[in-house]
Structure 1
Amino acid sequence: MWEKYCLRPTQGTISTSIPVFVYGTAWKKDRSADLVYTAIKAGFRAVDTAAQPRHYQENLVGDGIRRAIADGIVGRADLYVQTKYSPVSAQDPANMPYDPSATVTDQVHASIKSSLHNLRSKVDPDSVDDAYIDTVIIHSPLSTLAQTLEAWHALETYVPHRIRNLGISNCTLPMLKELCTSSHTTVKPSVVQNRFHEDTLFDGPLRAFCRENQIIYQSFWTLTANPDLVRSRTVHQLARHVKISPAAAFYTLVMGLKDVAVLNGTKNESRMKEDLAAPKQVEDFTRKQPDLWQQILTEFRGLIGESSTM
């Protein structure tokens, strides 16, 4: 659990793994390319973006990835690249990657065409023919279940070659169950990306469903929404024992809930390196002091209202 997870195989035989830390690129604006390059250079091997110019600069995210590949820091196969189809309701009316009056199916196709171009691994525009995306997420359920399923079906046509896996964000448990159990879906969700905070009871039942169904839960808003948890005695106890920051300790405790990856959007290069080093440091601690680790993790589960058996 401390380095990466293998996603459930989808159609075909292409396997995908996702690191426990995913670099988040929302609100990076004109700094997106430089920050993505810096993050990859620091050690991030997963990048999250969206075809949503309102909050993301997907083209600049692609520039940062291409620069890292051209400089020999990574190859495309070393990276997990994830983007989103964002419904009309989430877009800036003056700047979106598709015609808002088009059908949902046509919106998805236009969005994916744009994303494949933005996230291609080489500068040459013709390289888009070889481009693929590891996971595409529906940014949020659409206004009706029928529309959400229409978007999902359009995305399924790209799996497994142009898109390796599918997921959904800002998702409730009933919606997730619908996508997982519906006879109308052939590709089941591999990823759920949700806010991790008290108002949703930290998604306890939803995360349990994810574990039961081989779905990786990606937490976002993790630090910002939980300042009291970051300051808690339990988190600081782990930070002292492992000699890491409370923020890094909090991240690893969230990962300790099983099958949870964490979005990390820090702009500070030193913090990038410190956070990326923390899972391995905590792994060493769990081997040397397994009982103390279990005690701390059990206390943390109690803080978020989760029993140790979940």
Structure 2
Amino acid sequence: MAPSRLLSSEPHWEPLFIYGTAWKRERTKELVKQALQKGFRKVDTAAQPRHYQEALVGEGLREVYAGGVVKREHVYLQTKYTTPAGQDQNNMPYDPSATLETQVHTSVASSLKNLRLKNDSEEGSYIDCLLLHSPLPTIEQTLQAWKILESYVPDKIRSLGISNVTLPILQAIHENSAVKPSVVQNRFYPQTRYDVPLRAFCAQHGIMYESFWTLTGNPRLLKSEPVAMLAKSAEVSSSVALYALVMDQGIVVLNGTTSAEHMVADLTGIREVREWAASRGKEWLQITEAFRNSIEETHP
């Protein structure tokens, strides 16, 4: 049986949430500040004005840095290059008629500017991870975009990743790249059978698997027996119980709550589950094994 990911997590992974900034619109700055103030230390955004306000993410972060809440080096910050197909055709960070190389360079430049450390200077600006928001129409184009992004590593971009990806494409990138993928960000839900083979590949190659739609995409799991058992025994909410069991699979969870109360409750709840599990090892292992089996036996 695999060791408990939730119990054995290293300080680098603490807490096991990334704050998701999609669909926050004009509240983006306020919510990013709240998230960092409440204890989040990882932030996800994208150069995609259709769903993200990356400039407001940067404003919120700079105010948090200036206020002494946290230093930049203690924040994990990731953004994305989004292809024209995923953009609002009237509002995108590059000219869609430009070459792929120009699109990627312009998108990265906009992100480095939006997420800069200081209001009056881009000096020292960097991104911890930049993801392809999705594979491009062909594997050749996907590898071309990846190669362009590699030119920024490790100075302006520390690592690379990809979202909304299948295992064959991930394998192709891994086999044909100089800078190997560090992150995969996918929906964790039954339609993909919870990416069991893909997550095994990630574990084998040291790739961080991030989940989104963890709650909204899993109404069945939220009401499942392992979640109910953990929620009752550890005295936490069903959502926290589901988060904890997903994290125990080696998954880093995107959390996009807009409630300061829920930010605190989710972070506190995970710590409470960890403390409970440490003292109730046998019961914890029974619950996690039942949860793992329910995922691996899933059919869409």
Q: TM-score range by the shorter chain?
A: over 0.9
The correspondence for 2:229, drawn from 233, 237, 250, is 237
Counterpart CA distance in 2 for 1:275 and 1:249 is 10
The corresponding residue for 1:270 is 261
Count of residues in correspondence between the two structures = 293
CA distance in 1, matches of 2:116, 2:7: 25
Matching residue's letter, 1:79: V
Counterpart mapping for 1:114-125 below 5 A = 114-124=110-120
**CA 1:5–1:187 in 2, change beyond 3 Å: closer, same or farther?**
farther
Task: Say which of 161, 165, 177 aligns to 1:167.
Answer: 161
1:54 pairs with 2:50: yes
Offset at 1:226? Answer: 0.5
Pair 1:219 & 2:247 matched: no
Q: Which runs of 5+ in 1 are unaligned?
A: 7-15
3-state SS in 2 of match to 1:165: strand
Structure-2 residue corresponding to 1:154? 148
Letter matched to residue 292 of structure 2: R
Does the 8 A contact of 2:19 with 2:35 survive in 1?
yes
Matches within 5 A, 1:120-135: 120-124=116-120, 126=121, 128-135=122-129
Give 2:292's aligned residue: 301
Correspondence list, 1:1-310, <5 A:
1-2=5-6, 19-124=15-120, 126=121, 128-182=122-176, 185-258=177-250, 260-305=251-296
Unaligned runs of 5+ in 2: none
Q: Distance in 2 between matches of 1:81 and 1:3?
A: 24
TM normalised by structure 1 equals 0.91
Secondary structure class of the residue paired with 2:68: coil
CA distance in structure 1 between the aligned counterparts of 2:75 and 2:240, rounded to whole angstroms: 22
Provide the rounded CA distance (Å) in 2 between the counterparts of 1:276 and 1:96: 34
Distance (Å, rounded) in 2 between the aligned partners of 1:160 and 1:279: 32
Q: Which amino acid aligns with 1:84?
A: K
Q: CA deviation at 1:274?
A: 1.1
Secondary structure in structure 2 of the residue aligned to 1:175: helix
Deviations 1:15-43 (A, max 9, x none): x8675100000000000000000011110
After TM superposition, give the deviation of residue 231 of structure 1 in Å. 1.5
What root-mean-square deviation, in Å, do the aligned CA atoms of Structure 1 and Structure 2 show? 1.6
Cα deviation per residue 1:119-149 (whole Å; 9 max; x = unaligned)?
A: 012111x2x1210000000000000111111
Query: Hey, what's the Cα distance between the residues in 1 that align with 2:160 and 2:141?
Result: 16
Contact 2:45–2:79 under 8 Å retained in 1: yes
User: Does structure 1 conserve the Cα–Cα contact (< 8 Å) formed by 2:7 and 2:278?
Assistant: no
- Matched position secondary structure for 1:249: helix
CA distance in 2, matches of 1:4, 1:290: 13
Distance 2:259 2:13 in 1: 26
Structure 1: distance between partners of 2:83 and 2:39: 32
Q: Which secondary structure does the structure 1 equivalent of 2:184 belong to?
A: strand
Give the secondary structure class of the aligned counterpart of 2:52: coil
TM-aligned CA deviation for residue 232 of structure 1: 1.6
Conserved? CA contact 2:215–2:239, under 8 Å: yes
Once residues 192 and 237 of structure 1 are traced to their aligned partners in structure 2, the CA distance between those partners, rounded to angstroms, is 30
- Counterpart amino acid of 2:220? D
Q: Which amino acid is the alignment partner of residue 243 of structure 1? A: E
Tell me the TM-score normalized by structure 2: 0.94
**1:249-287 deviations in Å (ceiling 9; x for gaps):** 1001001112x1000000011110111122322221222
SS of residue paired to 1:235:
helix
Moved beyond 6 Å, runs of 4+? 3-6
Kindly indicate whether the alpha-carbon contact (under 8 Å) linking 2:193 and 2:295 is maintained by their aligned counterparts in 1: yes
